[in-house]
Amino acid sequence: MTGGLANLPRALELTLEGHPDTVTMTAGVAKNLWLKHANKAALIIQAASFTPDDRVSELLSRPIDAVRMGADALAVAIPVRGPSEGKYLKWLSDSVRESHEYEMPIVAHIYPRDYTEGVKIVFTPEEIAWAVRCGIETGVDVIKVGYPGDAAAFKQIVDSCPAPIVIAGGPKEPTFRDALVNTQSAMKAGARGAVVGRNVWGSENPKSASAAYHAVIHEGLSPDEALKKAKL
């Protein structure tokens, strides 16, 4: 294995050099790697592990586990739609209820599924709206969903949601600029930020990729300006 997350310590170091606001990781990774980086960014513990077809479906951490790690929030990733939707919504509801004792925010990563041909994650405006509604109904503090590619539709979704929405980094785009374009479009439509995975740690230069996202999200730079500033 080479690149990406093959070397977790190095991937984390390079990502943090781009000054992200938060870093999301499992409790096991945080236990082994986070101490030397504490206070460089907010720590969010990812509680869930699933595959769209439910071959893997486990809730690995609870709010108390995030508290013990000194984390700032707990993330719970779930798929919705399909026969197992109720179980995943219970994951969220249980996490929200348990979090109240510790005042631990819950960040929901919600992915709608389509069963037309097999099972896959989809990003249509209608399904993203359903994912957001699931986050609202379960009472989470922040909702992460995929960007549907339709700025007007996404703005309607954001405007109707009482909780902050951030977009998912999604699968790797054809170009890194494409990923920044989507982020800028989502921010203009009301997103509060982006939770980015492989488009940062999967890039050839995670530090510069992280810095480019920072420039678009916090400085309002255009994708081309952000690429230039990050020297990409």
Give the helix, strand, coil percentages of the chain, each rounded to 5.
45, 20, 40
Question: Tokens 């909702």 sit at which residue?
Answer: 143
Q: By C-alpha distance, which of 1, 14, 8 is closest to 203?
A: 14
CB count within 10 Å of CB 66 equals: 27
List, in sequence order, every beta strand (DSSP E) within 84-175. Answer: 106-114, 120-121, 142-145, 165-168
The span from the CA of 9 to the CA of 177, in Å, is 26
Residues taking part in catalysis: 144
CB count within 10 Å of CB 87 equals: 12
